[in-house]
Amino acid sequence: MQQLDQNSFESLFRSEYKGLCFFAQMYVKDSEAAREIVQDAFLGLWEKRETIDTSRNIRSYLTTGIRNKCLNYLRDNKKFHTNLLEIENLPANEEQFDSIDSDHLTEQELHTSIQTAINELPEKCREVFLLSRNENLKYREISEKLGISVKTVEAQMSKALQYLRTRLAGYLKIMILLILCLKQ
């Protein structure tokens, strides 16, 4: 088991801090609290660096810890309606469901967050993802167009999807509702 040293910790902090703050803010809706939660998670990681297996995905470890800290923050600060932990980001009463502006803003926010997350992908990863999703190219076609192997295309797509899944985790319920509403 390889331990987390100071250089790899600093590198991890620099590369993940901003995205994890955004992730936390989707839960707590307070940028200051989100930053505190993320910093606390990194502090906990540093304190446990000798027992953490770095061959495993440390980002997943951080994301899970941050999510739990956010839920604890919400519980402890009572800044939520009791049902909001189950139905995240949804209006508290039925009258608000009728608000077209609210739905439009949520959809706009989701679209903006998706675009931001895609733009945060590394260049090659983003290029492969956009060719697949926007131009509907098959992996083989992408590999030919970019002069890379199909395996590289698969790896880049997997990396992109994993990042987007983690980065947009807080919007999962909204996306499901939007899909269900669009089908009706």
How many domains is the chain partitioned into structurally?
2
Of the spans 58-62, 110-114, 150-154, 176-180, which averages the highest pLDDT? 150-154
Residues 110, 171 contacting (CB under 8 angstroms)? yes
Lowest mean pLDDT among 33-42, 79-88, 90-99: 90-99
List, for residues 133-148, the tens digit of each pLDDT value: 888 889 999 999 999 9
- For residue 97, the model assigns a pLDDT of 38
- For residue 93, the model assigns a pLDDT of 39
Q: What residues make up the domain containing 143?
A: 110-184
> Does some domain include residue 98?
no
pLDDT surpasses 60 at 181: no
Last residue in a domain, options 68, 85, 102:
85
147: CATH: 1.10.10.10
List, for residues 28-40, the tens digit of each pLDDT value: 888 888 999 999 9
Alpha-carbon dihedral angle through residues 123, 142, 134, 115, given to the nearest 10 degrees:
-20
Average pLDDT over residues 64-86: 71
Last residue in a domain, options 15, 50, 85:
85
Residues 52, 45 contacting (CB under 8 angstroms)? yes
Of the spans 47-51, 91-95, 158-162, which averages the highest pLDDT? 158-162
Whether residues 66 and 115 share a domain: the answer is no
Query: CB under 8 Å to 85, separation ≥6 — which residues?
Result: 71, 74, 75
pLDDT surpasses 70 at 43: yes
Whether residues 124 and 181 share a domain: the answer is yes
3-state secondary structure at position 149: coil
> Does some domain include residue 149?
yes
Query: CB under 8 Å to 83, separation ≥6 — which residues?
Result: 92
11: CATH: 1.10.1740.10
Whether residues 171 and 121 share a domain: the answer is yes
Whether residues 75 and 152 share a domain: the answer is no
- For residue 180, the model assigns a pLDDT of 55
> Does some domain include residue 92?
no
Whether residues 4 and 79 share a domain: the answer is yes
Whether residues 180 and 136 share a domain: the answer is yes
Crossing angle of helices 6-28 and 58-77, rounded to 10°: 40
Whether residues 184 and 140 share a domain: the answer is yes
pLDDT surpasses 70 at 101: no
> Does some domain include residue 173?
yes
- For residue 131, the model assigns a pLDDT of 92
